[in-house]
Structure 1
Amino acid sequence: MTVHVTTPQLQFRDLTLGYDRHPAVHHLSGDVPPGALLAVVGPNGAGKSTLFKGIVGALKPLSGRVDLNGLSARDVAYLPQAAEIDRTFPISVYDLVAMGLWRRTGIWGGFSKADHARIQQAIAAVGLTGFEQRAIGTLSGGQMQRMLFARLLLQDARLVVLDEPFNAIDAKTCADLVALVQHWHKEGRTILAALHDMDLVRSTFPQTLLLAREQVAWGDTASVLTAANMQKARHMCEAFDEEAAACAA
Protein backbone atom coordinates (compact mmCIF):
# COMPACT_ATOMS: atom_id res chain seq x y z
CA MET A 1 0.00 0.00 0.00
CA THR A 2 1.31 3.45 -0.98
CA VAL A 3 1.08 6.12 1.69
CA HIS A 4 1.02 9.68 0.41
CA VAL A 5 2.57 12.18 2.81
CA THR A 6 1.60 15.81 2.24
CA THR A 7 4.19 18.38 3.20
CA PRO A 8 2.61 21.05 5.42
CA GLN A 9 2.24 24.48 3.84
CA LEU A 10 3.01 26.13 7.15
CA GLN A 11 4.66 24.80 10.32
CA PHE A 12 5.04 26.28 13.78
CA ARG A 13 7.98 24.79 15.63
CA ASP A 14 7.91 25.64 19.35
CA LEU A 15 7.20 29.21 18.27
CA THR A 16 7.29 32.05 20.79
CA LEU A 17 6.55 35.60 19.64
CA GLY A 18 6.42 38.84 21.56
CA TYR A 19 7.55 42.41 22.00
CA ASP A 20 10.59 43.66 23.94
CA ARG A 21 11.20 40.03 24.94
CA HIS A 22 7.77 39.78 26.59
CA PRO A 23 6.01 36.82 24.97
CA ALA A 24 2.53 37.18 23.48
CA VAL A 25 2.39 33.72 21.87
CA HIS A 26 4.00 30.85 23.76
CA HIS A 27 5.54 27.62 22.44
CA LEU A 28 3.13 27.01 19.56
CA SER A 29 3.70 23.86 17.52
CA GLY A 30 1.59 22.48 14.70
CA ASP A 31 1.16 22.02 10.96
CA VAL A 32 -1.16 23.74 8.48
CA PRO A 33 -1.69 21.56 5.39
CA PRO A 34 -1.85 23.00 1.86
CA GLY A 35 -5.33 24.22 0.99
CA ALA A 36 -6.43 24.55 4.62
CA LEU A 37 -9.21 26.96 5.59
CA LEU A 38 -8.25 27.69 9.20
CA ALA A 39 -9.89 30.10 11.65
CA VAL A 40 -7.75 31.46 14.47
CA VAL A 41 -9.90 32.49 17.41
CA GLY A 42 -9.45 33.53 21.02
CA PRO A 43 -10.21 36.33 23.48
CA ASN A 44 -8.88 39.84 23.00
CA GLY A 45 -5.17 39.74 23.80
CA ALA A 46 -4.90 36.08 22.87
CA GLY A 47 -2.03 36.73 20.43
CA LYS A 48 -3.85 36.30 17.11
CA SER A 49 -2.45 39.42 15.44
CA THR A 50 0.98 38.71 16.88
CA LEU A 51 0.91 35.22 15.37
CA PHE A 52 -0.04 36.59 11.97
CA LYS A 53 2.78 39.15 12.08
CA GLY A 54 5.13 36.26 12.80
CA ILE A 55 3.80 34.26 9.85
CA VAL A 56 4.32 37.08 7.35
CA GLY A 57 7.75 38.00 8.72
CA ALA A 58 6.80 41.35 10.26
CA LEU A 59 7.83 40.06 13.70
CA LYS A 60 10.84 37.86 14.40
CA PRO A 61 10.41 34.93 16.81
CA LEU A 62 11.78 35.18 20.33
CA SER A 63 12.38 31.45 20.03
CA GLY A 64 11.36 28.61 17.74
CA ARG A 65 10.45 29.30 14.14
CA VAL A 66 7.84 29.49 11.40
CA ASP A 67 8.49 27.34 8.32
CA LEU A 68 6.76 28.35 5.07
CA ASN A 69 8.14 25.26 3.31
CA GLY A 70 9.20 26.76 0.03
CA LEU A 71 6.92 29.79 -0.12
CA SER A 72 8.57 33.10 -0.93
CA ALA A 73 7.36 36.53 0.18
CA ARG A 74 5.47 36.97 -3.08
CA ASP A 75 3.49 33.79 -2.34
CA VAL A 76 2.01 35.30 0.85
CA ALA A 77 -0.77 37.91 1.01
CA TYR A 78 -1.54 39.66 4.29
CA LEU A 79 -4.53 41.76 5.29
CA PRO A 80 -3.89 43.54 8.61
CA GLN A 81 -6.66 44.83 10.85
CA ALA A 82 -8.53 47.86 9.52
CA ALA A 83 -7.15 50.01 12.33
CA GLU A 84 -3.64 49.55 10.91
CA ILE A 85 -4.56 51.07 7.53
CA ASP A 86 -3.81 54.79 7.15
CA ARG A 87 -7.00 56.10 5.57
CA THR A 88 -5.62 59.65 5.36
CA PHE A 89 -3.01 58.66 2.78
CA PRO A 90 -3.81 60.53 -0.47
CA ILE A 91 -4.32 57.64 -2.86
CA SER A 92 -7.20 56.53 -5.07
CA VAL A 93 -9.00 53.20 -4.97
CA TYR A 94 -7.51 52.28 -8.36
CA ASP A 95 -3.93 53.01 -7.31
CA LEU A 96 -4.22 51.16 -4.00
CA VAL A 97 -5.70 48.08 -5.66
CA ALA A 98 -2.94 48.22 -8.28
CA MET A 99 -0.39 47.83 -5.49
CA GLY A 100 -1.36 44.14 -5.52
CA LEU A 101 0.78 43.82 -8.67
CA TRP A 102 3.89 45.47 -7.23
CA ARG A 103 5.63 42.25 -6.28
CA ARG A 104 5.51 41.21 -9.92
CA THR A 105 6.16 44.55 -11.62
CA GLY A 106 8.25 46.31 -8.97
CA ILE A 107 7.33 49.69 -7.49
CA TRP A 108 8.71 51.56 -10.51
CA GLY A 109 7.52 49.08 -13.12
CA GLY A 110 4.85 50.17 -15.53
CA PHE A 111 1.55 48.38 -16.04
CA SER A 112 0.70 46.77 -19.34
CA LYS A 113 -2.70 46.88 -20.97
CA ALA A 114 -3.33 43.40 -19.57
CA ASP A 115 -2.36 44.61 -16.09
CA HIS A 116 -4.85 47.48 -16.27
CA ALA A 117 -7.52 45.01 -17.34
CA ARG A 118 -6.73 42.80 -14.34
CA ILE A 119 -6.99 45.78 -12.00
CA GLN A 120 -10.41 46.67 -13.40
CA GLN A 121 -11.53 43.04 -13.14
CA ALA A 122 -10.45 42.89 -9.47
CA ILE A 123 -12.33 46.11 -8.69
CA ALA A 124 -15.42 44.76 -10.46
CA ALA A 125 -15.14 41.42 -8.62
CA VAL A 126 -15.59 43.16 -5.26
CA GLY A 127 -18.40 45.44 -6.44
CA LEU A 128 -16.50 48.74 -6.60
CA THR A 129 -16.84 49.62 -10.29
CA GLY A 130 -17.27 53.39 -10.48
CA PHE A 131 -15.16 54.00 -7.37
CA GLU A 132 -11.79 53.86 -9.13
CA GLN A 133 -10.89 57.54 -8.67
CA ARG A 134 -12.37 57.94 -5.19
CA ALA A 135 -9.90 58.80 -2.43
CA ILE A 136 -9.66 55.93 0.04
CA GLY A 137 -10.46 58.29 2.92
CA THR A 138 -13.99 58.76 1.56
CA LEU A 139 -14.88 55.06 1.68
CA SER A 140 -17.14 53.39 4.22
CA GLY A 141 -15.78 50.53 6.28
CA GLY A 142 -17.35 47.97 3.97
CA GLN A 143 -16.06 49.68 0.82
CA MET A 144 -12.60 49.83 2.35
CA GLN A 145 -12.57 46.08 2.95
CA ARG A 146 -13.84 45.41 -0.58
CA MET A 147 -10.96 47.49 -1.93
CA LEU A 148 -8.39 45.64 0.18
CA PHE A 149 -9.77 42.30 -0.98
CA ALA A 150 -9.40 43.50 -4.60
CA ARG A 151 -5.73 44.14 -3.87
CA LEU A 152 -5.44 40.61 -2.44
CA LEU A 153 -7.01 39.23 -5.62
CA LEU A 154 -4.20 40.75 -7.68
CA GLN A 155 -1.53 39.32 -5.41
CA ASP A 156 -2.67 35.83 -6.45
CA ALA A 157 -1.00 34.36 -3.36
CA ARG A 158 -0.81 30.71 -2.31
CA LEU A 159 -1.03 31.64 1.39
CA VAL A 160 -3.59 34.26 2.46
CA VAL A 161 -3.50 35.66 6.02
CA LEU A 162 -6.53 37.74 7.08
CA ASP A 163 -6.61 39.58 10.42
CA GLU A 164 -10.23 40.32 11.44
CA PRO A 165 -11.37 40.74 7.81
CA PHE A 166 -15.09 40.97 8.57
CA ASN A 167 -15.17 43.32 11.57
CA ALA A 168 -17.36 46.44 11.46
CA ILE A 169 -18.72 45.90 7.96
CA ASP A 170 -22.29 45.51 6.73
CA ALA A 171 -23.90 42.10 6.29
CA LYS A 172 -23.94 42.26 2.46
CA THR A 173 -20.23 43.08 2.28
CA CYS A 174 -19.46 40.33 4.80
CA ALA A 175 -21.39 37.76 2.75
CA ASP A 176 -19.68 38.85 -0.48
CA LEU A 177 -16.19 38.69 1.03
CA VAL A 178 -16.86 35.33 2.72
CA ALA A 179 -17.89 34.01 -0.70
CA LEU A 180 -14.57 35.25 -2.10
CA VAL A 181 -12.67 33.45 0.67
CA GLN A 182 -14.60 30.26 -0.11
CA HIS A 183 -13.68 30.67 -3.78
CA TRP A 184 -9.99 30.99 -2.87
CA HIS A 185 -10.32 27.84 -0.77
CA LYS A 186 -11.79 25.93 -3.73
CA GLU A 187 -8.79 27.06 -5.79
CA GLY A 188 -6.54 25.29 -3.29
CA ARG A 189 -5.07 28.32 -1.56
CA THR A 190 -4.16 28.08 2.13
CA ILE A 191 -6.16 30.59 4.17
CA LEU A 192 -5.83 31.65 7.82
CA ALA A 193 -8.28 34.15 9.27
CA ALA A 194 -8.51 35.66 12.76
CA LEU A 195 -12.19 35.93 13.65
CA HIS A 196 -14.54 36.82 16.50
CA ASP A 197 -17.85 35.64 15.00
CA MET A 198 -18.16 32.04 16.18
CA ASP A 199 -21.27 31.42 14.06
CA LEU A 200 -19.30 32.39 10.97
CA VAL A 201 -16.42 30.16 12.04
CA ARG A 202 -18.74 27.19 12.53
CA SER A 203 -20.51 27.69 9.19
CA THR A 204 -17.48 28.42 7.02
CA PHE A 205 -14.19 27.23 8.52
CA PRO A 206 -13.66 23.46 8.85
CA GLN A 207 -10.53 23.83 11.02
CA THR A 208 -9.93 26.11 14.00
CA LEU A 209 -7.00 27.06 16.24
CA LEU A 210 -8.15 28.35 19.63
CA LEU A 211 -5.42 30.56 21.04
CA ALA A 212 -4.98 32.13 24.48
CA ARG A 213 -1.34 33.17 24.20
CA GLU A 214 -0.72 29.47 23.83
CA GLN A 215 -2.63 26.72 22.08
CA VAL A 216 -5.85 25.71 23.82
CA ALA A 217 -7.16 23.43 21.07
CA TRP A 218 -6.54 22.89 17.35
CA GLY A 219 -8.45 20.69 14.95
CA ASP A 220 -11.96 20.13 13.63
CA THR A 221 -13.99 23.26 14.37
CA ALA A 222 -16.82 21.47 16.14
CA SER A 223 -14.43 19.73 18.51
CA VAL A 224 -12.45 22.90 19.21
CA LEU A 225 -15.29 25.34 19.87
CA THR A 226 -16.71 23.63 22.94
CA ALA A 227 -17.94 25.52 25.99
CA ALA A 228 -15.17 23.99 28.08
CA ASN A 229 -12.44 25.07 25.66
CA MET A 230 -13.83 28.60 25.34
CA GLN A 231 -14.01 28.98 29.11
CA LYS A 232 -10.46 27.68 29.45
CA ALA A 233 -9.25 30.22 26.88
CA ARG A 234 -10.89 33.10 28.75
CA HIS A 235 -9.38 32.02 32.06
CA MET A 236 -5.92 31.62 30.52
CA CYS A 237 -5.99 35.16 29.11
CA GLU A 238 -7.35 36.63 32.33
CA ALA A 239 -4.65 34.91 34.35
CA PHE A 240 -1.80 36.14 32.18
CA ASP A 241 0.44 38.44 34.17
CA GLU A 242 1.31 41.54 32.12
CA GLU A 243 4.31 42.05 34.39
CA ALA A 244 5.70 38.57 33.79
CA ALA A 245 9.44 38.34 33.54
CA ALA A 246 10.88 38.96 30.12
CA CYS A 247 12.23 36.08 28.14
CA ALA A 248 15.93 35.47 28.34
CA ALA A 249 17.77 37.40 25.67
Structure 2
Amino acid sequence: MTAALRLTDLTVSYYDRRPAVHHVSAEIPAGEMTAIVGPNGAGKSTLLKALLGLAPRVEGRIECTAKRIAYLPQQAEIDRSFPISVLDTVLLGRWSRFGAFGAARPVDLDDARRAIEEVGLSGLERRPIDTLSVGQFQRVLFARLLLQDADLVLLDEPFAAIDSRTVSDLMVVIRRWRDEKRTVVAVLHDFDQVRRDFPYALLLACELVDAGPTSRVLSPENLLRARALAESRDEPAGTCDVPLRLSA
Protein backbone atom coordinates (compact mmCIF):
# COMPACT_ATOMS: atom_id res chain seq x y z
CA MET A 1 0.00 0.00 0.00
CA THR A 2 1.31 3.45 -0.95
CA ALA A 3 2.20 5.73 1.96
CA ALA A 4 0.91 9.31 2.00
CA LEU A 5 3.16 10.06 4.96
CA ARG A 6 6.32 8.34 6.10
CA LEU A 7 7.79 9.28 9.48
CA THR A 8 11.34 8.24 10.28
CA ASP A 9 12.76 8.62 13.79
CA LEU A 10 10.59 11.70 14.31
CA THR A 11 11.09 13.64 17.54
CA VAL A 12 9.15 16.82 18.28
CA SER A 13 9.78 19.02 21.29
CA TYR A 14 9.12 22.46 22.74
CA TYR A 15 12.03 24.58 23.86
CA ASP A 16 11.64 24.17 27.62
CA ARG A 17 10.18 20.67 27.77
CA ARG A 18 11.15 17.09 27.11
CA PRO A 19 9.96 15.67 23.76
CA ALA A 20 6.21 15.50 23.19
CA VAL A 21 6.79 12.98 20.38
CA HIS A 22 9.82 10.74 20.69
CA HIS A 23 11.49 8.69 17.91
CA VAL A 24 8.35 7.78 15.96
CA SER A 25 8.71 5.77 12.76
CA ALA A 26 5.50 4.88 10.93
CA GLU A 27 3.67 5.02 7.61
CA ILE A 28 0.18 6.43 6.98
CA PRO A 29 -1.52 4.88 3.94
CA ALA A 30 -2.59 7.05 1.02
CA GLY A 31 -6.27 7.37 0.16
CA GLU A 32 -7.41 6.01 3.52
CA MET A 33 -8.80 7.20 6.87
CA THR A 34 -6.34 7.01 9.74
CA ALA A 35 -7.05 7.98 13.35
CA ILE A 36 -4.34 9.23 15.70
CA VAL A 37 -5.24 8.11 19.22
CA GLY A 38 -3.66 7.95 22.63
CA PRO A 39 -3.91 9.22 26.21
CA ASN A 40 -4.12 12.91 27.05
CA GLY A 41 -0.75 14.55 26.52
CA ALA A 42 0.41 11.77 24.22
CA GLY A 43 1.59 14.16 21.50
CA LYS A 44 -1.29 13.69 19.05
CA SER A 45 -1.91 17.36 18.21
CA THR A 46 1.83 18.04 18.33
CA LEU A 47 2.33 15.38 15.66
CA LEU A 48 -0.15 17.12 13.36
CA LYS A 49 1.61 20.45 13.87
CA ALA A 50 4.92 18.81 13.02
CA LEU A 51 3.46 17.54 9.75
CA LEU A 52 2.50 21.14 8.93
CA GLY A 53 5.83 22.61 9.93
CA LEU A 54 4.29 24.41 12.91
CA ALA A 55 6.20 22.71 15.73
CA PRO A 56 9.22 24.59 17.11
CA ARG A 57 11.75 21.74 17.16
CA VAL A 58 11.54 18.74 14.84
CA GLU A 59 14.18 16.07 14.35
CA GLY A 60 14.03 13.06 12.08
CA ARG A 61 12.39 12.92 8.68
CA ILE A 62 8.86 13.48 7.33
CA GLU A 63 8.13 12.37 3.77
CA CYS A 64 4.80 13.51 2.29
CA THR A 65 3.45 12.70 -1.17
CA ALA A 66 0.53 15.16 -1.02
CA LYS A 67 0.60 18.26 -3.22
CA ARG A 68 -2.05 20.09 -1.19
CA ILE A 69 -2.69 19.81 2.55
CA ALA A 70 -5.77 21.07 4.41
CA TYR A 71 -5.79 21.46 8.19
CA LEU A 72 -8.63 21.76 10.69
CA PRO A 73 -7.37 23.00 14.09
CA GLN A 74 -9.24 22.57 17.34
CA GLN A 75 -12.05 25.09 17.72
CA ALA A 76 -10.45 26.45 20.89
CA GLU A 77 -7.60 27.76 18.73
CA ILE A 78 -9.92 29.82 16.50
CA ASP A 79 -11.02 33.37 17.33
CA ARG A 80 -14.71 33.63 16.42
CA SER A 81 -15.06 37.27 17.51
CA PHE A 82 -13.90 38.61 14.14
CA PRO A 83 -16.96 39.96 12.25
CA ILE A 84 -17.13 37.62 9.28
CA SER A 85 -20.00 35.74 7.68
CA VAL A 86 -20.39 32.02 7.03
CA LEU A 87 -19.90 32.54 3.29
CA ASP A 88 -16.74 34.61 3.69
CA THR A 89 -15.31 32.10 6.15
CA VAL A 90 -15.85 29.27 3.69
CA LEU A 91 -14.28 31.35 0.90
CA LEU A 92 -11.07 31.47 2.93
CA GLY A 93 -10.57 27.95 1.63
CA ARG A 94 -9.62 29.58 -1.68
CA TRP A 95 -7.29 32.15 -0.07
CA SER A 96 -4.23 30.71 -1.80
CA ARG A 97 -5.83 31.37 -5.19
CA PHE A 98 -6.98 34.99 -4.88
CA GLY A 99 -4.91 36.24 -1.88
CA ALA A 100 -5.45 39.21 0.41
CA PHE A 101 -6.24 41.75 -2.29
CA GLY A 102 -7.91 39.57 -4.91
CA ALA A 103 -11.61 39.02 -5.40
CA ALA A 104 -13.49 35.75 -5.32
CA ARG A 105 -14.51 34.65 -8.79
CA PRO A 106 -18.04 33.54 -9.64
CA VAL A 107 -16.83 29.93 -9.64
CA ASP A 108 -15.45 30.38 -6.11
CA LEU A 109 -18.78 31.77 -4.89
CA ASP A 110 -20.67 28.91 -6.52
CA ASP A 111 -18.32 26.35 -4.98
CA ALA A 112 -18.64 27.99 -1.56
CA ARG A 113 -22.43 27.93 -1.67
CA ARG A 114 -22.36 24.31 -2.79
CA ALA A 115 -20.02 23.40 0.08
CA ILE A 116 -22.31 25.16 2.56
CA GLU A 117 -25.20 23.13 1.22
CA GLU A 118 -23.22 19.90 1.48
CA VAL A 119 -22.61 20.45 5.20
CA GLY A 120 -26.27 21.27 5.86
CA LEU A 121 -26.13 25.06 6.36
CA SER A 122 -28.09 26.35 3.39
CA GLY A 123 -29.72 29.69 4.19
CA LEU A 124 -27.06 30.70 6.73
CA GLU A 125 -24.56 32.15 4.25
CA ARG A 126 -24.83 35.70 5.68
CA ARG A 127 -24.92 34.71 9.36
CA PRO A 128 -21.98 36.01 11.45
CA ILE A 129 -19.93 33.10 12.68
CA ASP A 130 -20.07 34.30 16.29
CA THR A 131 -23.82 33.58 16.32
CA LEU A 132 -23.40 29.91 15.42
CA SER A 133 -23.50 26.92 17.73
CA VAL A 134 -20.37 24.80 18.13
CA GLY A 135 -21.79 22.19 15.78
CA GLN A 136 -22.79 24.75 13.15
CA PHE A 137 -19.38 26.36 13.24
CA GLN A 138 -17.71 22.98 12.78
CA ARG A 139 -19.86 22.48 9.68
CA VAL A 140 -18.58 25.84 8.40
CA LEU A 141 -14.99 24.73 8.92
CA PHE A 142 -15.66 21.51 7.01
CA ALA A 143 -17.17 23.53 4.16
CA ARG A 144 -13.98 25.60 4.09
CA LEU A 145 -11.97 22.39 3.85
CA LEU A 146 -14.08 21.31 0.88
CA LEU A 147 -12.97 24.40 -1.03
CA GLN A 148 -9.31 23.62 -0.44
CA ASP A 149 -9.54 20.49 -2.60
CA ALA A 150 -6.61 18.91 -0.75
CA ASP A 151 -4.94 15.53 -1.24
CA LEU A 152 -4.25 15.25 2.50
CA VAL A 153 -6.74 16.42 5.17
CA LEU A 154 -5.55 16.76 8.77
CA LEU A 155 -8.26 17.05 11.44
CA ASP A 156 -7.49 17.87 15.07
CA GLU A 157 -10.34 16.65 17.30
CA PRO A 158 -13.03 17.35 14.69
CA PHE A 159 -15.88 15.97 16.81
CA ALA A 160 -15.10 17.53 20.19
CA ALA A 161 -18.20 18.92 21.95
CA ILE A 162 -20.54 18.58 18.97
CA ASP A 163 -23.86 16.74 18.76
CA SER A 164 -24.28 13.24 17.35
CA ARG A 165 -26.23 14.41 14.28
CA THR A 166 -23.41 16.77 13.30
CA VAL A 167 -20.88 13.98 13.82
CA SER A 168 -22.91 11.73 11.54
CA ASP A 169 -23.24 14.40 8.83
CA LEU A 170 -19.55 15.27 8.91
CA MET A 171 -18.59 11.60 8.72
CA VAL A 172 -20.43 11.54 5.39
CA VAL A 173 -18.04 14.25 4.18
CA ILE A 174 -15.01 12.34 5.47
CA ARG A 175 -16.10 9.11 3.79
CA ARG A 176 -16.59 11.02 0.53
CA TRP A 177 -13.00 12.23 0.77
CA ARG A 178 -11.87 8.64 1.20
CA ASP A 179 -13.96 7.57 -1.81
CA GLU A 180 -12.21 10.32 -3.80
CA LYS A 181 -8.85 8.76 -2.79
CA ARG A 182 -7.91 11.62 -0.47
CA THR A 183 -5.99 10.82 2.68
CA VAL A 184 -7.65 11.74 5.98
CA VAL A 185 -5.76 11.81 9.28
CA ALA A 186 -7.80 12.70 12.38
CA VAL A 187 -6.95 13.07 16.05
CA LEU A 188 -9.79 11.32 17.89
CA HIS A 189 -10.68 10.24 21.43
CA ASP A 190 -13.70 7.98 20.91
CA PHE A 191 -12.27 4.49 20.45
CA ASP A 192 -15.67 3.06 19.52
CA GLN A 193 -15.93 5.52 16.66
CA VAL A 194 -12.37 4.80 15.57
CA ARG A 195 -13.08 1.07 15.48
CA ARG A 196 -16.31 1.66 13.57
CA ASP A 197 -15.23 4.28 11.03
CA PHE A 198 -11.44 4.38 10.66
CA PRO A 199 -9.70 1.36 9.11
CA TYR A 200 -6.26 2.49 10.24
CA ALA A 201 -4.92 3.94 13.48
CA LEU A 202 -1.72 5.25 15.02
CA LEU A 203 -1.46 4.86 18.80
CA LEU A 204 0.83 7.34 20.55
CA ALA A 205 2.03 7.72 24.10
CA CYS A 206 4.94 10.05 23.39
CA GLU A 207 6.44 7.02 21.67
CA LEU A 208 4.76 4.99 18.99
CA VAL A 209 2.92 2.04 20.50
CA ASP A 210 1.63 0.68 17.18
CA ALA A 211 0.43 1.80 13.75
CA GLY A 212 -1.56 -0.14 11.19
CA PRO A 213 -5.01 -1.74 10.96
CA THR A 214 -7.25 -0.43 13.73
CA SER A 215 -8.31 -3.89 14.89
CA ARG A 216 -4.68 -4.65 15.75
CA VAL A 217 -3.61 -1.23 16.99
CA LEU A 218 -6.46 -0.90 19.50
CA SER A 219 -5.84 -4.28 21.10
CA PRO A 220 -6.17 -4.49 24.91
CA GLU A 221 -2.43 -5.09 25.18
CA ASN A 222 -1.56 -1.97 23.19
CA LEU A 223 -4.00 0.19 25.14
CA LEU A 224 -2.54 -1.03 28.42
CA ARG A 225 0.96 -0.24 27.19
CA ALA A 226 -0.11 3.25 26.10
CA ARG A 227 -1.66 3.90 29.49
CA ALA A 228 1.46 2.69 31.30
CA LEU A 229 3.70 4.90 29.18
CA ALA A 230 1.46 7.93 29.80
CA GLU A 231 1.45 7.32 33.55
CA SER A 232 5.22 6.95 33.61
CA ARG A 233 5.58 10.32 31.87
CA ASP A 234 3.44 11.96 34.54
CA GLU A 235 5.98 10.93 37.15
CA PRO A 236 9.04 13.16 37.81
CA ALA A 237 11.77 12.08 35.43
CA GLY A 238 14.82 13.52 33.77
CA THR A 239 14.33 11.97 30.37
CA CYS A 240 11.62 10.49 28.21
CA ASP A 241 11.05 6.73 28.30
CA VAL A 242 13.32 4.47 26.27
CA PRO A 243 12.04 4.79 22.70
CA LEU A 244 10.06 1.95 21.16
CA ARG A 245 10.52 2.01 17.38
CA LEU A 246 7.87 0.22 15.35
CA SER A 247 7.03 0.69 11.68
CA ALA A 248 3.54 0.34 10.23
Unaligned runs of 5+ in 1: 1-5
Matched with 1:154 is 147
Q: Aligned residue for 2:37?
A: 41
Matched, 1:225 2:225: no
Structure 1 partner of 2:6: 11
Normalising by structure 1, we get a TM-score of 0.91
**Runs of 4+ in structure 1 displaced over 6 angstroms?**
none
CA contact (8 A) 1:23 1:62 kept: no
Which deviates more, 116-125 or 104-113? 104-113
Partner of 1:166: 159
Gaps of 5+ in 2: 241-248
SS of 1:66's partner is strand
Q: Identify if the C-alpha distance between structure 1 residues 206 and 33 changes in structure 2 by more than 3 Å, giving closer, same or farther.
A: same
Establish whether residue 31 from structure 1 lines up as the match of residue 27 from structure 2: yes
Partner SS, residue 77 of structure 1:
strand
Q: 2:203 aligns with which of 194, 204, 210?
A: 210
One-letter code of the match for 2:88?
D
Indicate the residue corresponding to 1:66 in structure 2. Answer: 62
Count residues with an aligned counterpart: 239
RMSD: 1.6
User: 1:127-206, aligned counterparts within 5 Å?
Assistant: 127-206=120-199
Aligned mate of 1:87, from 74, 77, 80: 80
> What is the letter of the counterpart of residue 203 of structure 1?
R
% identical aligned pairs: 51
Residue aligned with 1:54, SS: helix
- Give the counterpart letter for 2:136 in structure 1: Q
- Provide the C-alpha distance between the structure 2 equivalents of 1:116 and 1:77, rounded to a whole number of angstroms: 19
Change (3 A) 1:205 1:7: closer
Amino acid at match of 2:20: A
How far residue 119 of structure 1 moved from its aligned partner, in angstroms, is 0.8
Q: Return the alpha-carbon distance in structure 1 between the equivalents of residues 71 and 151 of structure 2.
A: 11
Q: Given the two structures, how large is their TM-score scaled by the length of structure 2? A: 0.91
Separation (CA, whole Å) in 1 of partners of 2:116 and 2:165:
17
Farther off after superposition, 154-163 or 227-236? 227-236
Q: 1:111 aligns with which of 96, 104, 124?
A: 104
